[in-house]
């Protein structure tokens, strides 16, 4: 389609409101989708870091418990 002026381009042959509102709605949906995905990713990363910390803490405590139980480091 060819338009003589920028105003005609914006009006899109009397269909401008529909066309530009469709573009706007699509843009908002894409933006919302991107923000939602980033939010979910940061939440997952945070939970994984917490789980790794808990796991490392538990492994350290288990090693300490085993060494104290086996007598390693105890004086005769």
pLDDT at residue 45 tops 90: yes
pLDDT (tens digit, 9 = 90+) per residue, 5-44?
A: 999 988 988 999 999 999 999 999 999 999 999 999 999 9
Q: What is the pTM of this model?
A: 0.62
CA distance 56 to 52: 6
- Give the model confidence (pLDDT) of 59-76 as tens digits: 888 777 777 766 555 454
Per-residue pLDDT band for 52 (boundaries 50, 70, 90) equals very high
Separation in Å, CA 17 to CA 5, 8, 57, 70 = 17, 12, 60, 79
Q: Report the run of H or E that residue 27 belongs to, with start and end.
A: helix 16-70
């Amino acid at each position: 389609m060819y338009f003589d002026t920028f105003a005609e381009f914006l009006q899109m042959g009397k269909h401008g409101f529909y066309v530009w509102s469709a573009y706007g709605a699509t843009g908002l949906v894409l933006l919302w989708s991107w923000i939602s995905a980033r939010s979910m990713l940061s939440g997952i990363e945070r939970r994984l870091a917490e789980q790794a910390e808990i796991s490392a803490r538990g492994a350290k405590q288990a090693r300490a418990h085993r060494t104290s139980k086996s007598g390693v480091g105890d004086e005769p």
